[in-house]
Amino acid sequence: MPAWQQTLDAIIANATPDLVTLRRRIHANPEPSGAELETSLLLYQTLDQPGLALRMGPDGCGVIADNRSADGQPRVAFRGDIDALLIHEANDVPYRSQRAGVMHACGHDAHAAISTHVALALHKLETSGHAPWPLRWRAILQPAEEAADGARRMIAAGALEGVESIFALHVDPPRPTGEVGLCVGPFTANCDGVRIIVRGRGGHGARPHESRDPIAAAAQLVSSLYQFIPRTTDSFDAVVLSFGRIAGGQNANVIPEEVELDGTLRTLDATVRAQTIEQIRQIARGVAEITATEIEVSVDGGIPSVRNDAAAVRILEQAAATVAGVTARVIPRPSMGGEDFACYLDHVPGAMFRLGIAANDGIIRPLHTPTFNVNEAALPLGVKILASAVILACEPTAAAGA
């Protein structure tokens, strides 16, 4: 193990109590997408040290931190997202959410704490004179990942100006602590929002024949989509269409004029995505005809698939190999989840890895559930891997070889 790696490990080990404290403080005070003001201020204050240049993100949400010693040079960035979800926490822990109905159920508290401590560790390594070569990094602490617009907002605010590559991690509940998942190419799915409005003619619930019932049409539409989208898609092509919201009507005995449906479409291939969107519209036209309703389908631009760069993944492999107690595994297939880290990769090469957080109790605590939690033993491992990857990416010979 090189001397700089030993020093880095010691820096991170000494800071681990502060790392855990920061993660718990963020967890106990969650803020949803677009409202991360207190979280951003906390992270700004934590990073406010001589030698670091800090700026807030748009509307006071998010933080960008640079080491001043690398001013004017191309930087290696790393991103941690900071927003929470509208979920009420069920965990009975001392650091449970203090805000009813809001919870860090996707590990962004861990991502934020890890990324903040990567910046602190790199800064300490450099100022102590133990960096193996000049470091040139940028920490991007990003709001609104769950709303799928935080990355684009940070990019518009200049987060990628002067950046040549970028790294990130995401916690992985089923994966054991001490294991990381890596892959080249597709890592997550294209993620599109689907909104459908069914317009009919309202009426009395006792006389449905006098109406054009949009609820009946909406029910038929969802059933048809769930039945026929899989039947018109090649079984080798991954497609997921799910509806999470249906809204219509105010009274039990009144047939409404209109019903709204909101859902999500996940695909891995651009051609399959376009074909599936057209199939949704086709099925909607058919249901509209047989129910005598009007059905409007709109699909937003969504976020693209995270596609990991091969050279960046090799750096992550090297970084993981330097960390004691860590094993890297190849991810056999991409997740159908969405991740707006992909927006950064539209501009610069980079990669994301999965950090195992499962404890040794045999219990899986899934993402986006009230019982989600993180095995905190994984936190310093995430800091070590991400910090080592940044250092390796800054190596002069690596830059020359690229």
- The domain segmentation of the chain, as residue ranges, is 3-186+305-401, 190-299
State the average pLDDT for the chain: 96
pLDDT tens digits, 54-64 = 999 999 999 99
- The proportion of the chain whose per-residue pLDDT surpasses 70, expressed as a percent, equals 99
Model confidence band, residue 302 (pLDDT cutoffs 50, 70, 90)? confident
Min mean pLDDT across 18-22, 43-47, 231-235, 353-357 is at 231-235
Give long-range contacts, CB 8 A cutoff, 24+ apart: 358-366.
Answer: 358/173, 358/174, 358/175, 358/176, 358/177, 359/177, 360/176, 360/177, 364/173, 364/174, 365/173, 366/173
* Digit-coded pLDDT (tens) for 248-281: 999 999 999 999 999 999 999 999 999 999 999 9
pLDDT surpasses 60 at 400:
no
Average pLDDT over residues 384-393: 98
Give phi and psi for 74, each to the nearest 5: -65, 135
pLDDT, tens digit (0-9, with 9 covering 90-100), for 174-210? 999 999 999 999 999 999 999 999 999 999 999 999 9
Architecture of domain 190-299: 2-Layer Sandwich (3.30)
Q: What is the pLDDT of residues 85-114, one digit of tens each?
A: 999 999 999 999 999 999 999 999 999 999
Q: 247 pLDDT exceeds 90?
A: yes
Q: How confident is the model at residue 398 (pLDDT cuts 50, 70, 90)?
A: low
342 CA to centre of own chain: 9
pLDDT at 401: 46
Question: pTM of the full predicted structure?
Answer: 0.93
Identify which of 139, 208, 153, 147 has the alpha carbon closest to the alpha carbon of residue 386: 139
Q: Would you say domain 3-186+305-401 falls under CATH 1.10.3210.10? A: no
